[in-house]
Amino acid sequence: MVFKKKEEGKEMTTQEAMLELGKSMKAINTRLDKMEEQPKPEPQPLPEQPTIPIVNIA
């Protein structure tokens, strides 16, 4: 199977394509890690919902 590099239009071997994919995934994981490091805002408590009584009809 032959892959083409988008920017240059060069053909790549499967191994080269896997290396490119690995680099992309590493970059994505790095960005996700940075996002996780940022302090998250405190979750706001949900407003009180009126409870509906359940009527058991026997």
The strand pairing partners of 4, in sequence order, are 11
When pLDDT is averaged across residues 5-26 and rounded to a whole number, the result is 83
Where is pLDDT greater, at 48 or 29?
A: 29
> Is residue 26 in some structural domain?
yes
> Is residue 16 in some structural domain?
yes
When pLDDT is averaged across residues 44-49 and rounded to a whole number, the result is 76
Candidate ranges 6-10, 28-32, 51-55; pick with highest mean pLDDT: 28-32
Find all residues with CB under 8 Å of 34, minimum gap 6, and list them. Answer: none
Give the range of the structural domain holding residue 16, as residue numbers without chain letter: 3-36
> Is residue 52 in some structural domain?
no
Q: Which pLDDT value is given to residue 3? A: 64
> Is residue 47 in some structural domain?
no
| CA-CA-CA-CA dihedral for 22, 28, 32, 33, to nearest 10 | 50
In 10 A of CB 20, how many CB atoms?
Answer: 14
Count up the domains in the chain and report the number.
1
When pLDDT is averaged across residues 30-45 and rounded to a whole number, the result is 79
